[in-house]
Amino acid sequence: MSEPAAGEEPLLEVRGLRKYYFENDSLFDRLLRREPTSVKAVDGVDLEVYPGETLGVVGESGCGKSTTGETLLRLREATDGSVRFDGEDVMEMSGDELTRFRKRAGIVFQDPFSSLDPRMTVGDIVGEGLKIHGMPEESPEDGRSKREWRRDRARELLERVGLSADQIDRYPHEFSGGQRQRVGIARALALDPEFVVLDEPVSALDVSVQAQILNLLEDLQEEFGLTYLFIAHDLSVVRHICDRVAVMYLGEVVETGPTDDIFESPKHPYTEALLESVPRASVEEQGRRVDPLPGDVPSPRNPPSGCHFRTRCPEVIQPATVDIPQEQYRGVMNLRDRLERQGFTAESVWETLESEHDGDDFERDTVAFKEAMREEFDLADLSGATMDTVEDALEILANGREDEAAERLREAFASPCEEEEPVLTGGEHAAACHLFADEEYDRDLDPEDVGNAMGGMGAPGPSPPVDGDVDDDLDPDGPDGTVEADADDSVGTDGDR
């Protein structure tokens, strides 16, 4: 870890990075006249990483962290944007220049099992990059063959990451999860990189082993002057290893700043919710109520307009004409959102009510319909003009006019957060949230609202790709998955056990 010095140039500078995966885009899809759809996995990301520092990239599963890491390394082809490494344009590199970049910038993947070829010995895995890059260039002067030189280098690296040089001819399945991750780290170090993307390097490991691997990564950083981009969904891991943090939500950076600032005074409601989901050590904090963030994680195929977080945000800005408790506003917005996304029809509600009547004669009673909806969307506490409008909309809905009901709610309750996309503002500690753009807004945070946002980080993220129609341009060594890790870890001389 190290603080960037004033005026220092970033080693890596990312501007407006976009990576869209296109689905239903094959010849077969075209023949069937299927419309191609785009998954906006990364949608305009800006980042800088300074020499010797560790930048954390955090966010829930599916928010685009891995795609960001892989795209900036050119393991995936970017849809748009620029990446500069040590002043050079990475997107424009080819030939020798690209080969040099590949030596200078490496990656450690999350899953230490699937990212290691089970048919190769760890010596071959660690030495593979050396062979691909034709190293050593000249035959060693001491009479060793190039192959022997590579084996010696692999031995050295295995020892350096806390394994034993004697294990060079073993296969990945003979190692525990932590040991396999050490092999993955040795492989990433083989070419003497300056910059390494660490893609959730400890998420698949037991907590006790996690600490050992984090210590190892810190030691290696110091010893070799490495610069890290550290991807994690778990903020507690980030706190100890990162100098600065960028928080991602649905393909965008929503907050960035020095780690302590992010932890001690988060600005974005999403960062606050993420922090609330971090397990706490102290006993009194362990008993906190953990409720899921309201609403589902929207799909990156069709992200919400304006601020992408507004469909789950506990602090959505209400229009000037509305001033109701946040949870009531959330209920109204959830109803509207579900209607607009064709999440249900009036007919399906009627059918449910009918089935609950269990064969009795059932008359379609609007009062019962509205009551069911009020219960489903927590609208029972509404009063005054708000209640009148919602009742109106429910009446329209009960008559099967879903679009009109949604329109009625939109006219009365549209939030400024859905109209315009907020941009990152605030200098070194910046956030992309309309709460900061609108100085009129009194941001008096109710701890209950934030409490309600806790725990949602474990909620399922957007669905993974389901079939083979997707862009599949990743290097075959690519990610990911989860494995059980054994507590038994390093066997070598390294003292981080």
Ligand X SMILES: Nc1ncnc2c1ncn2[C@@H]1O[C@H](COP(=O)(O)OP(=O)(O)OP(=O)(O)O)[C@@H](O)[C@H]1O
Q: Verify binding: residue 462, ligand X, rule CB under 6 A.
A: yes
Q: Per-residue contact track with ligand X, 114 to 153, x per CB under 6 A?
A: ----------------------------------------
Among 296, 315, 337, 471, which residue interacts with ligand X (rule: CB under 6 A)? 471
Total residues interacting with ligand X, rule: CB under 6 A: 20
As measured in angstroms, the least distance from the Cβ of 306 to ligand X is 20
User: Segment near ligand X (CB under 6 A), from 321-329, 333-341, 459-467, 481-489?
Assistant: 459-467
- Taking the complex as a whole, the smallest distance from the CB of residue 69 to ligand X amounts, in Å, to 8
Q: Give dist(CA 425, CA 433) in Å, integer.
A: 8
CA distances from 330 to 62, 415, 419, 495 (A): 23, 11, 17, 52
| Among 10, 52, 64, 478, contact with ligand X (rule: CB under 6 A) | 64
Residue 136 preceded by cis peptide, ω within 30: yes
The answer to whether residue 39 forms part of the interface with ligand X (CB under 6 A) is: yes
Smallest gap from residue 68 Cβ to ligand X (A): 7
**Are 329 and 316 spatial neighbours (Cβ–Cβ below 8 Å)?**
yes
Pairwise CA distance, residues 338 & 186, whole Å: 49
- Of 66 and 167, which CB lies nearer to ligand X in the complex structure? 66
465 binds ligand X (CB under 6 A): yes
Instruction: Please state the φ and ψ torsions of residue 98, each to the nearest 5 degrees.
Output: -65, -40
Q: Which of 77, 419 has the CB closer to ligand X?
A: 77
Q: With respect to ligand X, which residue has the nearer C-beta, 251 or 492?
A: 251
Pairing of strands 244-249, 54-58: parallel
Q: Which of 470, 477, 486, 497 binds ligand X (CB under 6 A)?
A: 470
Q: What angle do CA 460, 252, 245 make, to 5 degrees?
A: 90
| Phi, psi of 247, deg, nearest 5 | -100, 125
Instruction: Please state, in angstroms and rounded to a whole number, the distance separating the CA atoms of residues 31 and 99.
Output: 39
Nearer to ligand X, 109 or 377 (CB): 109
Assess 165 for contact with ligand X (CB under 6 A): no
Q: Could you identify the residue written with the tokens 């943090």?
A: 245
Residue closer to ligand X, measured from CB, 63 or 130: 63
Distance, CA of 184 to CA of 480 (rounded, Å): 13
Hey, is 43 helix, strand or coil?
strand
For tokens 């389901």, name the residue.
466
Site string for ligand X, 209-248 (x = CB under 6 A): ------------------------x---------------
Written as six digits, the tokens of 111 are: 């899953």
Q: 300 vs 492, which CB is nearer to ligand X?
A: 300
CA distance 71 to 81: 10
Q: Which is nearer to ligand X, 21 or 228 (CB)?
A: 21
Interaction of residue 309 with ligand X, rule CB under 6 A: no
Q: What DSSP state is assigned to residue 465?
A: P
Contact positions vs ligand X (CB under 6 A)? 21, 39, 41, 59, 61-67, 233, 300, 462, 464-465, 470-472, 480
